[in-house]
């Protein structure tokens, strides 16, 4: 029999350490295991074919632990998507922060981080494909993250002495341009994923740089 992290006869202990691990830590470990399993299942068979049983088998957990953490497979999808979205933003932030001070260098660093992230196909499918059109609640999660990605792109244009948020009209322009750039990168990234990464990463970065850099330069008037 396949060994599981939590077997059918393992008691669900609340408020007491089990095996030297606090219950909160064990719950967090199980949640992380379910998110990793969700990534693999959603990223292979797709969200609409995913089942709690398949996810629990992948996570090596009894299904009661699934329902202790999530109300449904859709709730797990949202959590899985949110985790990957936050991971990508963190990786892009670290890459751009470490880049040289020029706008071009920051854009290149961010694009490289984006395309490196997409090299993990299951995470990329969750981020770019599986989360779309599921329900209004999941759509709202997706839209919130698009706005955050847009803000992150626009932040790269904040050159010294160039305030970009002086008034509401300018902030609206930034929001719309940021969303437009996120939409372009999302479509390019999805196409790259679905063609099995046909084009070299450098070519992807070089062509996307033209779109992002051209838009930001036009906004800055440089």
Beta bridge partners of 125: none
Fold of 74-220: Tetracycline Repressor; domain 2 (1.10.357)
pLDDT of residue 97: 93
Domain ranges for the chain, please list them.
74-220
Could you give the CA distance from residue 75 to residue 78 in angstroms, rounded to a whole number? 5
User: Using the 8-state DSSP alphabet, how is residue 102 labeled?
Assistant: S
Q: Which pLDDT belongs to residue 218?
A: 87
Nearest to 212 by CA among 139, 142, 132, 157: 157
pLDDT of the chain, 222 residues: tens digit per residue: 334 444 443 444 445 555 556 778 889 999 999 999 999 999 999 999 999 999 999 999 999 999 999 999 999 999 999 999 999 999 999 999 999 889 999 999 999 999 999 999 999 999 999 999 999 999 999 999 999 999 999 988 764 444 555 678 888 888 999 999 999 999 999 999 999 999 999 999 999 999 999 999 888 776
* Residues 131 and 142: beta-carbon distance below 8 Å: yes
* Nearest Cα residue to 58 out of 71, 72, 70, 43: 43
The pLDDT score that the predictor gives to residue 168 is 80
Phi first, then psi: give them for residue 142, nearest 5 degrees: -60, -45
What pLDDT was estimated at residue 210?
96
Q: Tell me, what's the pLDDT at 15?
A: 53
């Amino acid at each position: 029999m396949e060994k599981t992290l939590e077997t059918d006869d393992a008691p669900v202990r609340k408020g007491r350490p089990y095996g030297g691990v606090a219950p909160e830590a064990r719950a967090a470990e199980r949640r992380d295991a379910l998110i990793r399993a969700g990534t693999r299942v959603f990223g292979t068979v797709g969200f609409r074919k995913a089942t709690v049983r398949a996810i629990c088998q992948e996570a090596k957990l009894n299904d009661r632990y699934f329902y202790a953490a999530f109300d449904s497979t859709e709730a797990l999808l949202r959590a899985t998507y949110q985790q990957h979205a936050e991971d990508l933003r963190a990786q892009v932030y670290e890459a751009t922060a470490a880049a040289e001070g020029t706008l071009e260098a920051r854009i290149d660093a961010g694009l490289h981080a984006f395309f490196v992230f997409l090299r993990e196909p299951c995470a990329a499918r969750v981020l770019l494909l599986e989360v779309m059109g599921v329900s209004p609640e999941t759509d709202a999660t997706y839209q919130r993250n698009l706005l955050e990605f847009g803000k992150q792109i626009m932040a790269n244009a904040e050159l010294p002495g160039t305030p970009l948020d002086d008034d509401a009209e300018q902030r609206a322009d930034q929001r719309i341009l940021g969303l437009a750039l996120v939409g372009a990168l999302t479509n390019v990234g999805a196409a790259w994923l679905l063609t099995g990464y046909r084009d070299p990463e450098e070519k992807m970065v070089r062509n996307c740089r033209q779109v992002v850099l051209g838009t930001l330069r036009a906004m800055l008037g440089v």
